[in-house]
Chain A
Amino acid sequence: MTILNKFKTAALAAGVALTIALPAAHADEQYFPLQSYRVGPYAAGGTGFFGGFIDYLNLINTRDGGVNGVKLTWSEAETQYEVERGVEAYERLKSNPNVAAWNPLSVGIAYAMIDRITADKVPLITINHGRTDSTDGRVFPYVFPLLLNPYSETSGIVNYIASKEGGLENIKGKKIVVLYHGSPYGKETIPIYELLAEKYGFELQQIEVPHPGNEQQSQWLTIRRAKPDYVVLRGWGVMNPVALKTAAKTGFPVDHIIGNVWSNSEEDVIPAGDTAKGYTAITTQASGTEYPVVKEIVSTLYDKGQGNLEDKNRIGSVYHNLGIVNGILNVEAIRIAQEKFGKRTLTGDEVRWGFEHLQLDPARVEALGAKNLFHSINVTWDNHEGNGYVTFQQWDGKKWNVVSDWIAPDWALLRPIIEKSSEAYAAEKGIKLRTAEDAEAATN
């Protein structure tokens, strides 16, 4: 695309965004404020995720005329993944009418928004990330770490390693190193790995990589000396390809590295070249274009020049498909809430009710054209994660291939730990625990 064309596209996009961002005059519209990041260090993830999210919203408008006649609208504010910009974008965008939910895809921005969205009574969606104890809807009524919180991710990874060793009883005595990003996100799972190590009897060593992670020689030499059976990579951004390359440089086999959910994209492996072949990572949604919903997005939008991704080769990539799944979950929450409150524009609190009843079994997921794209979700008023299943994918040098069945994390084991943390938070903040009756009521 030439620069002139880019400017034309930008001008057109600005015009379209302006048109879309002026929904005040229309009653039957539901608005999504998007704190996106399309430039800066994490732009590759941002363009993929928000591209997929917008593509799905656009599909619903184009194919169905909206959700039961309610048009979906959105506008974007650039954050560059910076917390202060994200908060500024929140303050700027929240004045738009008919806000459905916030989806910042940023741990830092999400943390900074929790008190604000709770006061404003609008849901905050942190799909696959966010603080683990926000799973507890008794304490965090408006926060939804959909599909996978960090503790479930940890449990899913340990279960996968166990499956490779022939069962949980066989990981006793094995050695696992967790290489984590030196940030609150990276440190979130330290206690749960310790707990699982104690429960299952594996030897554990957790090693920090300072942000941004572009130098890891000493960490991988330490790993080499420790001679672990597996390394779990809990990385972010540039840390991931550098980890894979440094592992190869220090002689650690890449097929014994298991990536977490933010170390599982094409952007994490492509820069590592051939050294990434055989690397495995957890995911909640498969990549690829063979799913009916993705095909429909291609035929309805991209074939008519209306897709959001600039590079069509990225359709079906990990981040793009995550954005599509996020779109499905947001739209279905609205649809479910409309069944109770009427087929009209909903308040943020009514959309919250919809999320708290977001129960999509495999049959419903198939009906939505997403069979095998993701498994299912079962959100309730007090379980805001929704028991998402995980699967594992392996990089073959060109694409990800699914190498496991859908695996369930050990939710029963995790729930008491989550409740302990959330109740401590509630006590600290003076929050009264919600009941099921409290959750049923939704305000305008």
Chain B
Amino acid sequence: MSDFDWLFFTEVLVGGLLSGVMYSLVAIGFVLIYKTSGVLNFAQGALLLFAALTFVSLVERGVPFALALVVTFALMVVIGIGIERTVLRPLTNRPPITLFMATLGLSYVIEGAAQLLWGTQVHALDLGIEDIPFDVGGVFISQFDIFAAAVAAGMVALLSIFFRYTRIGLAFRAVADDQFAALAIGLRLPWIWATVWATAGLVALVAGLLWGARLGVQFSLSLVVLKALPVLVLGGFDSILGAIVGGLLIGATEKLAEVYLGDYFGGGIESWFAYVAALAFLLIRPSGLFGQKLVERV
């Protein structure tokens, strides 16, 4: 072990953890919807694409940065309400698989609408944060990744406070716990769903901007959902904290696997290794690290 390059190991580990934070940003959007409706929202990637494409298109047309942010968020709220009215409300109390299939269809509609509205060109997105690394004891750390991690931490803190200490957060949790009981005590399910979809839209906007600055704003943004799925399996589908911890674990695991095990498998293993890790974990703990354990009385 004396030849082992610990500095390099640390660099890969830190890089993986920071990449994991980016996965968590996407995963949080899934968690929000799942927590309140039990639906795995496959359209989250499409929402992310739509938000980023709308924002960058507005900025390119001369709309000031802050105004573009507000307008895009407003549009995401409208989309959230629209989805509730046209897709979720007619499917209330349908089995989860029906709702999942609806979101699958929805993802195609949103992707198509984004391209119809704003075109198919690739756009650069500059958030004004340099992506130049700084040296910490020989380990290069990206400023942009640190910024993304700070944004993710801020968002988790805000959402945690929102869920735990506000009336609407309490209502969200009640709906998540039992939709029928929530309806029985007078909670307005449609309004709650519209609000949560709008919140997921906000998360999509933030994640879209950060991923867009990294990849460029283009269709491939909608594919980042594939990075979020193993995170959800590992962290639990209904835990925001789980999304963060899961993201960190998946990010670190896949990077270390690629670097230290990749050669034994011909390289390029990180994309599927994340799923292998998640699957292995699923066998041990089906509800994920922080997911709620389902207990059914029969």
Asked if A271 lies at the interface with its beta carbon under 8 angstroms from chain B, I say yes
Chain B 107-126, CB-CB to A under 8 Å as 1, else 0, gives 00000100111011111111
Which of A47, A212, A215 has the most B CB atoms < 10 Å from its CB? Answer: A215
Interface Cβ pair total, 8 Å cutoff: 122
Chain A 16-58, CB-CB to B under 8 Å as 1, else 0, gives 0000000000000000000000111101100100000000000
Contact present for B120 and A38 (CB under 8 Å): yes
Contact present for B259 and A249 (CB under 8 Å): no
Contacts of A271 in B (CB 8 A): 122-125, 215-218
Q: Which of A63-71, A219-227, A337-345 is the interface stretch?
A: A219-227
Q: Which of B126, B223, B259, B267 contacts A208 (CB 8 A)?
A: B267
Asked if A168 lies at the interface with its beta carbon under 8 angstroms from chain B, I say no
Contacts of B126 in A (CB 8 A): 273
Contact present for B131 and A245 (CB under 8 Å): yes
Q: Which of A44, A182, A206, A224 contacts B120 (CB 8 A)?
A: A44
* Residue of B whose beta carbon sits closest to that of A210: B271
Asked if B140 lies at the interface with its beta carbon under 8 angstroms from chain A, I say yes
Contacts of A371 in B (CB 8 A): none
Q: Which of B115, B122, B272 contacts A39 (CB 8 A)?
A: B115
* Residue of B whose beta carbon sits closest to that of A275: B131
Contact present for A212 and B259 (CB under 8 Å): no
Contact present for B259 and A242 (CB under 8 Å): no
Asked if A306 lies at the interface with its beta carbon under 8 angstroms from chain B, I say no
Contact present for A250 and B120 (CB under 8 Å): no
Asked if B92 lies at the interface with its beta carbon under 8 angstroms from chain A, I say no
Contacts of A209 in B (CB 8 A): 268
Contact present for A40 and B19 (CB under 8 Å): no
Interface size on A, residues (CB 8 A): 44
Q: Which of A206, A210, A217, A238 contacts B19 (CB 8 A)?
A: A217
Q: Per DSSP, are chain B's interface residues mostly helix, strand or loop, or mixed?
A: helix
Asked if A251 lies at the interface with its beta carbon under 8 angstroms from chain B, I say yes
* Residue of B whose beta carbon sits closest to that of A225: B8
Tell me, rounded to whole Å, the shortest Cβ–Cβ distance linking A250 to chain B.
6
Contacts of B125 in A (CB 8 A): 271
Contacts of B133 in A (CB 8 A): 249-251
Chain B interface extent, by class: 35 or more
Contact present for B116 and A222 (CB under 8 Å): no
Tell me, rounded to whole Å, the shortest Cβ–Cβ distance linking A222 to chain B.
6
Asked if B173 lies at the interface with its beta carbon under 8 angstroms from chain A, I say no
Contact present for A237 and B220 (CB under 8 Å): yes
Q: Which of A191-210 contact B (CB under 8 A)?
A: 206-210
Contacts of A212 in B (CB 8 A): 220, 223
Q: Which of B19, B112, B268 contacts A182 (CB 8 A)?
A: B268
Contact present for A3 and B223 (CB under 8 Å): no
Tell me, rounded to whole Å, the shortest Cβ–Cβ distance linking B172 to chain A.
31
Asked if B255 lies at the interface with its beta carbon under 8 angstroms from chain A, I say yes
Q: How far is the CA of A310 from the CA of B271 in the complex (A)?
A: 36
Asked if A6 lies at the interface with its beta carbon under 8 angstroms from chain B, I say yes
Q: Which of B119, B215, B219, B254 contacts A241 (CB 8 A)?
A: B215
Contact present for B218 and A41 (CB under 8 Å): yes
Contact present for A242 and B267 (CB under 8 Å): no
Contact present for B116 and A43 (CB under 8 Å): no
Q: How far is the CA of A238 from the CA of B126 in the complex (A)?
A: 17
With A43-B115, A44-B121, A275-B131 in contact, do A238 and B215 touch (Cβ < 8 Å)? yes
Q: How far is the CA of A210 from the CA of B120 in the complex (A)?
A: 24
Closest 7 A/B residue pairs (Cβ): A271-B216, A208-B268, A43-B120, A210-B271, A208-B267, A238-B220, A218-B258
Cβ contacts A to B, 17 pairs, < 8 Å: A6-B116, A38-B120, A39-B120, A41-B223, A217-B255, A219-B258, A221-B11, A224-B140, A238-B218, A242-B215, A248-B132, A249-B145, A251-B133, A267-B218, A270-B123, A272-B216, A314-B121
Show the binding face of A for B, using Cβ within 8 Å. Answer: 3, 6, 38-41, 43-44, 47, 182, 206-212, 214-215, 217-219, 221-222, 224-225, 237-238, 241-242, 245, 248-251, 267, 270-273, 275, 310-311, 314
Task: Known pairs A210-B269, A217-B16, A217-B255; list 5 more (Cβ under 8 Å).
Answer: A44-B121, A182-B268, A217-B18, A270-B123, A272-B124
